[in-house]
């Protein structure tokens, strides 16, 4: 499963490199990923310090550093 999450993190990174910032819902729509895979990929990229995450009242926005 770790390999799949790492590969999907690349998909999320690619989507964010084209359109950044995006909400988590928009990332899910753009990448066609499941809730689990999107969350795991965001966690992976955040741990690698590749993301900036901002929470507003209604959503969470994710951007590349």
E strands within 1-65?
A: 22-23, 51-55, 60-64
* CATH numbers and ranges of domains, the chain: 2-64 (1.10.10.10)
Nearest Cα to Cα of residue 15 among 32, 2, 27:
27
pLDDT the model gives residue 1: 87
Please tell me the pTM assigned to this model: 0.92
With a cut of 50, which residues of the chain have pLDDT below it? none
**Can you tell me whether residue 37 is helix, strand or coil?**
helix
- The alpha carbon dihedral of 33, 17, 53, 10 has a sign of positive
């Amino acid at each position: 499963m770790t390999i799949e999450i790492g590969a999907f993190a690349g998909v999320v990174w690619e989507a964010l490199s084209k359109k950044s910032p995006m909400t988590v819902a928009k990332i899910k729509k753009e990448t066609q990923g499941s809730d689990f895979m999107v969350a795991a990929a965001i966690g992976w990229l955040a741990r690698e310090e590749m993301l900036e995450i901002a929470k507003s009242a209604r959503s969470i926005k994710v951007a590349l550093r």
